[in-house]
Amino acid sequence: MNITPTEFDDLYIIKPTVFEDARGYFFESFHQKKFEDATGIECEFVQDNQSRSVYGVIRGLHMQVPPMAQAKLVRVLKGEVLDIAIDLRKDKSTFGKTFSIHLSSDNKEQLYIPRGFAHGIAVLSEEAEFFYKCDNYYSPENERGIMYNDASLNIDWKINPEKRIISEKDEKHLAFSNFSSPF
């Protein structure tokens, strides 16, 4: 397992070692001790979530605020997504900056997103199954969002606007400039 830091504090790309033969493949998708040794982050995951979406779906930009903030370990089980994380930690030099990565069932890469980030995905394949582990439970009262197409964030979702599929809820999130970060 290769754990690579990004330019954002505590945001890591995890690339598993994949063993393939005539039967198929095997890989260790997560190992607590290896993760802690490589990052210094102690994280206990308490909830797993999975979604299935079709091409053009954009989910986000979502977060949970304190006291129910969540760190996430995200990966794609089938298909390909553009994964977006926005740093909302006011004390970091990367505050308001966006990180993006292509995650797919082919590359098997994962992204560890610490607490204090907004998160979203865009489905780039015909269909995608997305899986993520959280270190805190979902709380509707603590759910917040930032508008996915906020001009100040300038996110290229890699999907033409006329092909985008957005939930009604995600169309109503705040602009980044109107979001008061609790992180």
- Residues that are catalytic: 62, 132
Task: Compute the distance between CA of residue 36 and CA of residue 160 in angstroms, rounded to an integer.
Answer: 39
Between vectors from CA 53 to CA 103 and to CA 102, what angle results, nearest 5°? 15
The two three-digit tokens of residue 70, written as one number: 């969540």
Beta pairing partners, 102: 82
Give the angle subtended at the CA of 164 by the CAs of 86 and 135, to the nearest 5°: 35
Q: What is the DSSP letter of 177?
A: G
What element of type H or E holds 32?
helix 32-39
| 131 and 104 Cβ atoms separated by less than 8 Å | no
Indicate the burial class of 76 (C-beta count within 10 angstroms; 0-12, 13-18, 19 or more).
buried
